[in-house]
Amino acid sequence: MDRITKAARLMIVSDLDHTMVDHHDPENMSLLRFNALWESNYRHDSLLVFSTGRSPTLYKELRNEKPMLTPDITIMSVGTEITYGDAMVPDEGWVEFLNQKWDRNIVAEETSKFSELKLQAETEQRPHKVSFYVDKAKAQTVTKQLSECLEKRGLDVKIIYSGGMDLDILPQGAGKGQALAYLLKKFKDEGKTPVNTLVCGDSGNDAELFSIPEVYGVMVNNAQEELLQWHAENAKGNPNIIHAKERCAAGIIEAVGHFNLGPNTSPRDVADFMECKVENVNPGHEVVKFYLFYERWRRGEIDNCEAYLASLKACCDPSAVVVFPSGVEKTLHECIHAMKTCHGDQKGKKFRVWVDRVLSTPIGSSTYLVKFDKWELSGEEQSCRVTTVKIDAQGSNATDGFTWVNVQQKWLEGFEKDESTSIF
């Protein structure tokens, strides 16, 4: 909550499975396109919120499987848990709020009387969420009867059916929409209400997000019937909610453009490295562009052209040094020269590079320290270097770009790799 000192320019609140993350996209290209757009244009003054039905355990599993960014806020377990930052610090005020008229033991007792309900894995049972599987044909009847039973026991609950099989029982005040409303009120009380908020979803447990006033919404192209039906019955005439033409994260990018919420051209969609520019130049874009070029060079997707390498060298101070995680030092010009030998060495292979948590701090009138996590996927192996770059702006407001002055790296614990073949 403290990273942004004023109102966020944009807050994106997105479901994960089949919304931000496309499980039918083995290359994760729509997700990588979103990552590049966010880090190059939005990270420095906007907020990214993941809102998922997953428990913390399954959420962390997904982050290890997919090239996902680190959100500023994570809403998990269908809106029953709110945490902040990479450390996932819980919101204790939200916990206290959900404890009202909630008794998990009574829920367990009453649900045990329904043979149609099959308990989900232990990891999915949370302090304010009890989760089951139920056949689609029986869901409506079970929901109605169960709601009446729990009401008689003095509980005020919410039962959410989604995905054609998942039934979640929560406190009445919980849910993805209520969690978002809580956050928006919190921001308002601090005088930092986001300028624009975009909610994104694909299934029934996302419907609440679209009912929050004054937000924009996108149902991704692959949205499930239950969400489309909710929209037809409750928000068909709302111009602030669209059904995207694109799937998953590509649909989110589409919505950013549709509602004119800011830039919506991902650097990954720009074919020519030399033309990869933004209206508002910032260090984040410089970093994204640099490592995207590196990925394309290794994949052999751009020509082995001296002009490209000369352009890279022109962006680096002649004395600029890279300090590798092992402590080995090389000049940036040496590293760029070494790239000649690895052009296309990852062609046709599963090789991707992306950056996360790109945050810059001015340390002079035209000098910045930029910190970020640089991720590299090679085959099935992921590695990550926590990187700090010192850069100088060229011209007024960096209109002529940036000059790289120094690069320091260290391994992110648990994501080390052999450094002998490293270039950047």
What CATH number should be reported for the domain whose range is 270-411?
3.10.450.50
pLDDT attached to residue 353: 97
Question: What's the CATH code, domain 101-171?
Answer: 3.90.1070.10
Distance CA 378, CA 395 (A): 37
| pLDDT value of residue 163 | 81
Mean pLDDT by 10 residues, the chain (424 residues): 84 98 96 98 96 94 96 96 95 94 93 95 93 94 95 92 90 94 96 97 94 96 95 94 98 98 95 67 91 95 89 91 94 92 94 96 92 94 96 75 94 89 74
Q: Which amino acid is at 109?
A: E
Cβ neighbours of residue 295 closer than 8 Å, sequence gap 6 or more? 351, 352, 353
The tokens of 23 are what?
A: 């499980």
**18, 244 Cβ separation under 8 angstroms:** no
Q: What is the reported pLDDT for 423?
A: 79
Chain segment 345-357, per-residue pLDDT in tens: 999 999 999 999 9
The edge-to-edge listing of strands for the beta sheet with 402-411 is 329-331, 316-323, 402-411, 381-393, 367-378, 351-362
Helix (H) or strand (E) holding 409: strand 402-411
Domain boundaries, the chain: 11-94+174-267, 101-171, 270-411
Query: With b meaning 16 or more CB within 10 Å and e meaning fewer, what string describes 194-230?
Result: bebbbbbbbbbbbbbbbbbeebbbbbbeebbebbeeb
Tell me the β-bridge partners of 12.
48, 198
Q: Letter for the amino acid at 314?
A: A
Q: Do domains 11-94+174-267 and 270-411 have the same CATH topology?
A: no
- Res 243: pLDDT: 97
Q: From 1.50.40.10, 3.30.420.40, 3.40.190.10, 3.40.50.1000, which CATH number describes the 11-94+174-267 domain?
A: 3.40.50.1000
**Helical (H) or strand (E) element with 110:** helix 104-111
pLDDT of residue 272: 78
Q: Give CA–CA dist 278/267, Å, rounded.
A: 9
| pLDDT at residue number 279 | 67
